[in-house]
A and B are shown apart, each in its own frame.
Chain A
């Protein structure tokens, strides 16, 4: 039984097609699997191995290196609270404590209703906007306990909390697993040509041929 839905399998092949070697698509396909299911299942890894010319063990070997991939079910909303240095200085730990006590789970845990998973995060590149947390990898800058409570209330009642982030983000909040809400598409007639490196044997067309130039070619 294939794991990917047929639109996602087409998408997977389109992604693979953008790389000179299929294995380079391994991480994007793990993301796609997580987008479909919310986490990375064994069936997903088997099919990704098949699509990228790897073994399931290699897929797990790569995937397990990266913190964002979850190999067990997690909440619909992944809450990451940064406690690294800049956030620590301005109350990141207190914010994490508030998040944990509000949701009743410790870092790494998921609420009983399956809505929220909490993680203590390493630096998320919002240091001037500390303290900061993310929900499904969307930013909430200069956050307070009140910000977090309002975000939870929004999500429980089906509203998008993104404007509360003061991070220039707006629109809908996709469920865990989805990252960018826009996908890259390369139209067939606009492709420059992506081939395995072995099939390239000379400089690209816009460079002068070696015989036309002096030393600095």
Chain B
């Protein structure tokens, strides 16, 4: 871990965790400035030029430009933002914009950086979206635990209101939008868009059934509502200033642009990297000199989570997959929130699985029975296996409970040694939202690949809790 404190490696002190590479900087161009979050710095470095460019065109033209850019949502589902915007029904007003800044997926650290370090870029993105499709009020929902992000956004909004950039008559035009900072109070499930809307209405954050409650049709207060992730919106100023064609010059045909990936765990240089999608592979990110520079000294890769705690695990043979939704999905997992967690051979697969499942059990909102009951069953079974009290039938029981939450073959990576082919993503579900099925991902991944580790704990049965060797 000596690398971590070495200032010479591209780690920016003003944007802790972010590592500058030689690649393009669509989202992170201001991160090197100590005052990157101020209006003064924003305006001195092209801030709000994207908004001005948008205001010179008609709303329909702005919408079309975003559609042409094929800007894929960065929250997890990867749906094209321009298409999502088009789902608002004609003639139903008002329409709202809700910004999802409730970043909580295990392994994910990137929206917080964007909110803390460049809040004006996000505000500008919100205004462009509002202009394009007639959203008359915007709520910026920031995760409750992120005190610094909340205060940076509050200060930025105060500056922007005073400078005629937000509020009545933006820059002297007809565009009039209030942007309200809203903040949560600790609930992972609120990152699900319909739960976010429930929370914003002052309720317990429990997801709504889709259909009929697709937010673009029936969202906040029953009105058409666009819910976009922070990183998605932060792309808009660049797209408006430079055009969709230039944006598509980065990344691949199916996944244009850049994306923030957070790489954590047992790598030499963990960090948040801005990466061209599609043309970069997991191997580039984990082993490349420009990125993580490999597994920590003296160790080797055991497994990695490619897209946040909800994603099925990948292994050595999946390193050469590109960072692109379709091939990753076909191989049995997802890019999700762009969070890659790397684990070396010292990691206890049962323990890693237990910790992730415990998270989902803690965060289950309790609305759907298979998830509410199933996730806590899974946690208890895993805990007793880990503690040395497991029963021989427990492995099958884990899979059976998982099958009640997510029926059928669960998405998983191939495992040639066992003759197992990949099961493509996504899973089926007996629940309203994907939280319950997410808890099955680590279970199926770990049992399929490391069944012997479960069996070893069960057959030993000596009742002595096992400590994982997790640090070097």
Confirm or deny: B17 has a beta carbon within 8 angstroms of a beta carbon on chain A. Answer: yes
Confirm or deny: A129 has a beta carbon within 8 angstroms of a beta carbon on chain B. Answer: yes
Confirm or deny: A191 has a beta carbon within 8 angstroms of a beta carbon on chain B. Answer: yes
Q: Which of B117, B153, B265, B305 has the most CB of A within 10 A?
A: B265
Q: Is the CB of A179 within 8 A of B147?
A: yes
Complex interface bits, A71-115 against B, C-beta within 8 A gives 1, otherwise 0: 000000000100111101111011000000000000000000000
The smallest C-beta distance from A167 to any residue of chain B, in angstroms, reads 5
Q: Is the CB of A85 within 8 A of B104?
A: no
Confirm or deny: A45 has a beta carbon within 8 angstroms of a beta carbon on chain B. Answer: no
Instruction: Given the known inter-chain contacts A137-B146, A139-B148, please indicate yes or no for A62 contacting B157, CB distance below 8 A.
Output: no
Bound-complex Cα distance A130 to B264 (A): 8
Tell me the count of chain B residues lying within 8 A, CB to CB, of chain A: 99
Complex interface bits, B181-192 against A, C-beta within 8 A gives 1, otherwise 0: 111111110000
Residue of B nearest to A82 (CB): B106
The number of A-B residue pairs with CB atoms under 8 Å apart is 266
The smallest C-beta distance from A173 to any residue of chain B, in angstroms, reads 10
Q: Is the CB of A123 within 8 A of B341?
A: no
Bound-complex Cα distance A216 to B105 (A): 36
Residues of B within 8 A of A202 (CB): 93
The smallest C-beta distance from B56 to any residue of chain A, in angstroms, reads 13
Residues of B within 8 A of A208 (CB): 58-60
Q: Is the CB of B107 within 8 A of A137?
A: no
Confirm or deny: A5 has a beta carbon within 8 angstroms of a beta carbon on chain B. Answer: no
Q: Is the CB of A28 within 8 A of B471?
A: no
Residues of A within 8 A of B129 (CB): none
Q: Is the CB of B147 within 8 A of A137?
A: yes
Bound-complex Cα distance A137 to B151 (A): 12
Residues of A within 8 A of B155 (CB): 182
Confirm or deny: A213 has a beta carbon within 8 angstroms of a beta carbon on chain B. Answer: yes
B interface, CB within 8 angstroms of A = 4, 13-17, 58-60, 63-64, 90-91, 93-94, 103-109, 111-112, 116-117, 131, 134, 136-137, 143-148, 150-151, 153-155, 157-158, 161-162, 164, 166-168, 173-178, 180-188, 199-205, 221-223, 262-266, 270-272, 305, 309, 339, 341, 343, 347, 351-352, 355-356, 359, 362-363, 365, 468, 470-471
Identify 19 new A-B residue pairs, CB closer than 8 A, beyond the known A62-B202, A125-B109, A185-B158. A27-B182, A28-B183, A65-B205, A66-B185, A66-B187, A80-B145, A84-B359, A85-B107, A88-B468, A90-B266, A126-B17, A128-B17, A130-B270, A141-B16, A141-B17, A142-B4, A169-B148, A184-B154, A204-B93
